[in-house]
A and B are shown apart, each in its own frame.
Chain A
Amino acid sequence: DAGITQSPRHKVTETGTPVTLRCHQTENHRYMYWYRQDPGHGLRLIHYSYGVKDTDKGEVSDGYSVSRSKTEDFLLTLESATSSQTSVYFCAISKTGSDQPQHFGDGTRLSIL
């Protein structure tokens, strides 16, 4: 299995608080992605990174920010969490983008009360 670790695996927090999720890889892959998965919507891309300090928005980026200061770490931040951001969040990595498979972490289940 590809070396991808997401932390925390579960989190419960309150509306209005900041939340940071971490994705750590040991594969030295260039691309890293953050998705959210909700019933009826499948996986939707939030943000992705194509290198250190290089990031771009996905289809559901409002309310989220990301940072990648090292190849191995990709952080997703909810600046002020809302109940609509309750979801399961997945990180994925890929060597060279969409022409190669993506390898996924086991997800973070985030509940915002």
Chain B
Amino acid sequence: SQQGEEDPQALSIQEGENATMNCSYKTSINNLQWYRQNSGRGLVHLILIRSNEREKHSGRLRVTLDTSKKSSSLLITASRAADTASYFCATDRPNGNEKLTFGTGTRLTIIP
């Protein structure tokens, strides 16, 4: 089945540094979404980027999408301790408009 795969699986950086996570997927998509999950909580939507978009920003978050390489990246600038969480990408299906497929996530730890 089509699935986004995040890379790296885990990432530790110092507070204030930038964090970059990558997502690769297998087949064409209509959109790709990024979510954050804090420990013991549900996922929280961060950004949705459509297949005809190349870059999108939201506060300290920057998402890029390269449909030719079937990949996306999430950049968090000037990281904070509160950014410690797991981050997931999710892709839809080319012919369906109802379901998302989630990757296994990147565990980000910000060291104060």
Using CB atoms and an 8 Å cutoff, list the residues of chain A in contact with chain B: 4, 31, 33, 35, 40-45, 48, 50, 56, 58-59, 90, 92, 96-107
Contacts and interface: CB of A to CB of B under 8 A. Distances in A.
B103 A98 contact: no
B48 A101 contact: yes
Interface size class of B (residues with CB under 8 A): 20 to 34
Interface stretch (B64-72, B77-85, B93-101): B93-101
A43 B102 contact: yes
Given A42-B88, A98-B96, A103 B45 contact: yes
Interface of B: 1, 30-31, 33, 40-45, 48, 88, 90, 92-93, 96-105
Contacts, number: 65
B43 A104 contact: yes
B44 A97 contact: no
Contacts of A56: 98
A42 B103 contact: yes
Given A42-B88, A43-B43, A102 B100 contact: yes
Contacts of A45: 99-101
22 contacts: A4-B42, A35-B102, A42-B88, A42-B103, A43-B43, A58-B99, A96-B97, A97-B98, A98-B92, A98-B97, A98-B100, A99-B92, A99-B97, A101-B45, A102-B33, A102-B43, A102-B45, A102-B90, A104-B42, A106-B41, A107-B40, A107-B41
Contacts of B48: 100-101
Contacts of B100: 45, 98, 102
